[in-house]
């Protein structure tokens, strides 16, 4: 059931829940995430950052698409944090059904112009587009990483941006952080800002980051306007911490079938909790 980001998020928008967009960076992670989504009967967005695409290769993207066609739940393949128009075209050529153009660090007019250009081209080919307005903090190498600064999304700008770009979904900054939340900062979502933006633009809204934010705030956000939540750090930490444990227990362990099952199980425990928290469990039946 390979489909587009718009097809998945429009239903989530109508029924007030959020779809997890899990970032994967190897085949075992991807296989595990699809299996837990099928087990919980939840729609899935497979997010792959350009750095991750470079790591896994175009050939694996083809395999991901093939597996998505055979899935019992709807799946979109999403190019996460594309930085240029050329990257968006590359994603479309690879077979992605959803692309993000992140020009949030550029001046507003430049962000608007490049997003509109991507949207015009992608929509001709039936590919969904996510834009971003405002910036979240980050201490990893993705997106606007390297800064503790959060520039909250302005509702007036959001209205103009959506109207003039035609994006299908919009990532907003309301108090989240790429990577682990800094110890010296208190995580807090501006839920009133979320509700104001949602009331004015209407389209599916996206939350990037979220590691360290309280579950009750994430749960409320997923029921009051956020329809897609990106999850990368939390599942990767669970996956690789378990891998370190397995390898440390026996230095002679080398076969993937002896290493990865426990790692996938640890990752999926976290993924299942996110699926439930976002209100996505069982929602594949709506499609």
**Which residues neighbour 156 within 8 Å (Cβ) at sequence distance 6 or greater?**
none
Query: Annotated binding residue at 166?
Result: no
What's residue 146's pLDDT? 44
Which of these is catalytic: 10, 26, 51, 80?
80
Residue 187 has pLDDT above 80, yes or no: no
- φ, ψ at 263 (rounded to 5°): -70, -45
Query: Annotated binding residue at 178?
Result: yes
Q: Catalytic annotation on 168?
A: no
Question: Where is pLDDT greater, at 144 or 284?
Answer: 284
Rounded to an integer, what distance in angstroms lies between the CA atom of residue 178 and that of residue 71?
29
Query: Annotated binding residue at 220?
Result: no
Report percent pLDDT > 70 for the chain: 91
Query: Annotated binding residue at 208?
Result: yes
What's residue 250's pLDDT? 87
Residue 178 has pLDDT above 60, yes or no: no
Residue 212 has pLDDT above 70, yes or no: no
- φ, ψ at 76 (rounded to 5°): -115, 145
How sure is the predictor about 114, in pLDDT bands with cuts at 50, 70 and 90?
Answer: very high
Query: Annotated binding residue at 15?
Result: no
52-108 residue pLDDT tens: 999 999 999 999 999 999 999 999 999 999 999 999 999 999 999 999 999 999 999
Architecture category of domain 5-286 in CATH: Alpha-Beta Barrel (3.20)
Query: Annotated binding residue at 233?
Result: yes
Residue 210 has pLDDT above 80, yes or no: no
Residue 182 has pLDDT above 90, yes or no: no
Query: Annotated binding residue at 282?
Result: no
What's residue 61's pLDDT? 97
Residue 181 has pLDDT above 80, yes or no: no
275-284 residue pLDDT tens: 999 999 999 9
Q: Which of 189, 194, 203 is nearest to 150 (CA)?
A: 189
Of 49-58, 64-73, 135-144, 237-246, the least confident: 135-144
Whole-prediction pTM: 0.93
What is the overall mean pLDDT for the chain?
92
| In the chain, where the domains are located | 5-286
Residue 179 has pLDDT above 90, yes or no: no
What's residue 75's pLDDT? 98
Query: Annotated binding residue at 210?
Result: yes
Q: Which residues pair with 23 in a beta bridge?
A: 47
């Amino acid at each position: 059931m390979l489909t587009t980001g718009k097809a998945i998020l429009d239903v989530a928008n109508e029924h007030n829940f959020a779809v997890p967009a899990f970032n994967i960076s190897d085949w075992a992670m991807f296989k595990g995430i699809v299996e837990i989504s099928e087990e919980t009967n939840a729609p899935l967005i497979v997010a792959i950052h350009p750095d991750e695409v470079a790591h896994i290769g175009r050939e694996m993207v083809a395999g991901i698409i093939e597996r998505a066609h055979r899935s019992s739940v709807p799946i979109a393949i999403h190019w996460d944090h594309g930085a240029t128009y050329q990257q968006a075209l590359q994603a479309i050529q690879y077979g992605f059904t959803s692309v993000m153009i992140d020009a949030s660090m550029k001046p507003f007019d430049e962000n608007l112009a490049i997003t509109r250009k991507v949207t015009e081209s992608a929509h001709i080919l039936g590919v969904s587009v996510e834009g971003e307005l405002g910036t979240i903090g980050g201490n990893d190498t993705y997106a606007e990483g390297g800064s503790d600064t959060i520039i909250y999304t302005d509702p007036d700008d959001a209205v103009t941006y959506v109207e003039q770009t035609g994006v299908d979904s919009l990532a907003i900054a309301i108090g989240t952080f790429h990577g682990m939340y800094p110890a010296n900062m208190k995580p807090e979502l501006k839920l009133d800002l979320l509700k104001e933006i949602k009331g004015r633009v209407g389209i599916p809204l996206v939350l990037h980051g979220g590691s360290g934010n309280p579950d009750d705030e994430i749960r409320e956000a997923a029921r009051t306007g956020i329809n897609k939540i990106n999850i990368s750090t939390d599942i990767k930490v669970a996956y690789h911490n378990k891998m370190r444990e397995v390898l440390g227990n026996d230095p002679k362990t080398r076969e993937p079938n002896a290493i990865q099952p426990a790692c996938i199980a640890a990752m999926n425990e976290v993924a299942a909790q996110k699926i439930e928290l976002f209100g996505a469990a069982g929602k594949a039946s709506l499609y």
